[in-house]
Amino acid sequence: MNFEVSIAKTLKAPGRRFELDASFSTAARWTVLYGPSGAGKSLVLQVIAGLVRPERGRIVLGERVLFDASTGIDVPARDRRLGYLFQDYALFPHLNVRQNIAFGLRRGVLNPRRSDDSPAVQRWLQAFELEAVASQRPHQLSGGQRQRVALARALVNEPAALLLDEPFAALDPGLRQRMRDELQTLLERVAVPMLLITHDAEDVARFGQQRLRVEAGRVAAD
Amino acid sequence: MEAAWPALALSLKVALWASAIDLLLGIGLGWLLARGRFPGRELLDAILTLPMVLPPTVLGYYLLVLFGRHGWLGAWLLAHFDYSLIFTWQGAVVAASVVSLPLVLRSARAAFEDVNPQLEAAARVLGLSESAVFLRVTLPLAWRGVLAGLLLAFARALGEFGATLMVAGSLPGKTQTLSIAVYEAVQAGQDDLAWRMVAVISLTCIVILVTARRLAPQDTRAGMR
């Protein structure tokens, strides 16, 4: 899987101005973008996912052009077929685990039923050992279970790539170590390529088959 | 007491219709004010909140200017549909819905602002269209707040007096709502009748307020994370 990213975006806030001008390409299965907070890592991920529109540039994933300013291509976020793991997981609080995982399988205006038993949902519940909590709401889950639900929710749609936004930043050190082990085990079982952003050297060592350093809105190879 | 029942039935009918209109407008405008980025947003909010602070007679006057036989909308309705809202129960519905709209609107706007935008982003990445994101994530998460405001609006619409009297008048059995009937009964010295109607409307409003209170605070409970 090839990622080719070249994007420019200027953010303006009163008394503040941030310029992102990032170019990189990677062919690795696991790529880590790392750098201090405020360097623009999250913005890169949001632009790739189609949540923020860049001013200039081009984003290519494998054979698919997701964005190209020069030809006016801008595939909307919903059609990019990317999995996104948010920092605090962004699980839907009004839906149970089953409904959260099934969420992307239903594109209509109705949420999945509370007892949704699509084969894909069953498979991920089983694979991530979530059957026992399938009818619970996110606030009833442990941190590890939440991470697995978020990952299952992203993977059930068979995304072309996974984007992970600082998956362990909000956790205390002991739990962080455990969740990192768990995520690594889970990711090794699925063939989906991933792009992870972090400011933690341990994440870089563990997941960085290809490492890219982000600093002040620029990306440099390691 | 016979005079009280048609008045109560009319009050309920008017309040239900007014709430239905407020529900649609409150959700639409509340979302626009919470998420829209356009110049004059706060001005629009202020104008839509005016009915809460203006004297009901002033509001009634504005409605007459708008819907009267020579009003901007009134003249158009008369010319194209041979229809006038003045002195009809539908006129009472319009008056009641304008007066009570701010209650739904404020509550809905706050509820929409409380919805974490990241949840909406997550739904987009998972393949949902904008309308599906709204119906499956935004609205369900804001629903309690909208509903709490709606109940207050219903209670307010049930008690509407000033603007309704100016627009719809006080035709017994036609546009005479309970609150107007109370006024008429007191004016006519029918203290017994007035007292019974006052009791009915007070009880109804207490039930509504208790229900609204049970709905509202749960919004902020820890379980909603």
Q: How many CB pairs under 8 A join A and B?
A: 75
Banded model confidence at residue A207, pLDDT cuts 50, 70, 90: confident
SS (HEC) of A159-196: CCEEEEECCCCCCCHHHHHHHHHHHHHHHHHCCCCEEE
Q: B126: which chain A residues are within 8 Å (Cβ-Cβ)? A: 78, 103-104, 153-154, 157
Question: What is the rounded distance in angstroms from the CA atom of residue B130 to the CA atom of residue B191?
Answer: 57
Portion 80-119 of B in contact with A at CB < 8 A: 116, 118-119
Beta bridge partners of A58: A6, A68
Banded model confidence at residue A48, pLDDT cuts 50, 70, 90: very high
Portion 182-221 of A in contact with B at CB < 8 A: none
Is A48 a domain residue?
yes
Do residue B129 and residue A138 have CB atoms under 8 angstroms apart?
no
pLDDT tens, residue by residue, A167-192: 888 777 878 888 888 888 888 888 88
CA dihedral B177, B180, B186, B187 (to 10 degrees): -130
Here the tokens at position B27 are 């959700």
B191-215 vs B139-158: helix axis angle to the nearest 10? 170
Beta bridge partners of B212: none
Is A29 a domain residue?
yes
Is A103 a domain residue?
no
Do residue B225 and residue A107 have CB atoms under 8 angstroms apart?
no
Residue-range definition of the domain harbouring residue B144: 4-224
Task: Name the residue among B118, B124, B225 with its Cβ closest to that of A78.
Answer: B124
Is A133 a domain residue?
no
What are the counts of helices (DSSP H) followed by strands (DSSP E) for chain A? 6, 11
Question: Cα distance from A82 to chain B (closest Cα, Å)?
Answer: 7
Residues 6+ apart with CB under 8 A from A73: A65, A66, A67
State whether residue B121 sits within 8 Å of chain A by CB: yes
User: Total structural domains in chain B?
Assistant: 1
Residue-range definition of the domain harbouring residue A209: 1-80+195-222
pLDDT of residue B159: 86
Task: Name the residue among A78, A92, A137 with its Cβ closest to that of B119.
Answer: A92
Q: Return averaged pLDDT per consecutive 10 residues of chain B, 225 residues in all.
A: 77 94 96 90 91 90 88 85 86 93 95 94 93 94 92 90 87 86 91 89 85 65 39
Do residue A109 and residue B116 have CB atoms under 8 angstroms apart?
no
Task: Name the residue among A46, A104, A109 with its Cβ closest to that of B126.
Answer: A104
User: Total structural domains in chain A?
Assistant: 1
Question: Cα distance from A165 to chain B (closest Cα, Å)?
Answer: 12
Burial environment of residue A88 by CB neighbours within 10 A (0 to 12, 13 to 18, 19 or more): middle
Beta bridge partners of A6: A23, A58
pLDDT of residue A1: 60
Is A174 a domain residue?
no
Burial environment of residue B20 by CB neighbours within 10 A (0 to 12, 13 to 18, 19 or more): middle
SS (HEC) of B168-207: HCCCCCCCCCHHHHHHHHHHCCCHHHHHHHHHHHHHHHHH
Residue A213 has φ and ψ, to the nearest 5°, of -95, 130
Find, in chain A, the residue whose alpha carbon is nearest to that of B126. Answer: A104
Task: Name the residue among A77, A83, A109 with its Cβ closest to that of B124.
Answer: A77
Task: Give the three-class secondary structure for A41.
Answer: helix
Is A55 a domain residue?
yes
Find, in chain A, the residue whose alpha carbon is nearest to that of B224. Answer: A93
Question: Cα distance from A105 to chain B (closest Cα, Å)?
Answer: 8
Is A39 a domain residue?
yes
Residues 6+ apart with CB under 8 A from B180: B7, B161, B164, B165, B170
pLDDT of residue B28: 95
The reply to whether the predicted model has a pTM over 0.90 is no
Banded model confidence at residue A26, pLDDT cuts 50, 70, 90: confident
Is the CA virtual torsion B111, B112, B116, B120 positive or negative? positive
Do residue B127 and residue A94 have CB atoms under 8 angstroms apart?
no
Sort strands A3-13 and A16-26 into parallel, antiparallel or unpaired: antiparallel
Task: Name the residue among A93, A94, A107 with its Cβ closest to that of B128.
Answer: A107
pLDDT of residue B3: 67
pLDDT of residue B2: 63
Say if CB B219 and CB B146 are below 8 A apart.
Answer: no
What CATH number corresponds to the domain at position B126? 1.10.3720.10
Is the CA virtual torsion B156, B157, B161, B167 positive or negative? positive
Is A45 a domain residue?
yes
Report how far apart, in Å, the C-alpha atoms of B75 and of each of A181, B60, B70, B72, B85 are.
Answer: 73, 17, 5, 6, 11
DSSP character string of chain B: -TTHHHHHHHHHHHHHHHHHHHHHHHHHHHHHHHH---TTHHHHHHHHHHHHHS-HHHHHHHHHHHHSTTSHHHHHHHHHH----TTSHHHHHHHHHHHHHHHHHHHHHHHHHHS-HHHHHHHHHTT--HHHHIIIIIHHHHHHHHHHHHHHHHHHHHT--HHHHHHH---TTTT--HHHHHHHHHHTT-HHHHHHHHHHHHHHHHHHHHHHHHHSGGGGSGGG-
Question: What is the rounded distance in angstroms from the CA atom of residue A34 to the CA atom of residue B221?
Answer: 36
Q: B119: which chain A residues are within 8 Å (Cβ-Cβ)? A: 90, 92-93
Task: Name the residue among B127, B136, B141 with its Cβ closest to that of A78.
Answer: B127
Do residue A137 and residue B223 have CB atoms under 8 angstroms apart?
yes
pLDDT of residue B221: 42
Here the tokens at position A101 are 């995982």
Task: Give the helix/strand (H/E) hosting A205.
Answer: helix A201-207
What CATH number corresponds to the domain at position A23? 3.40.50.300
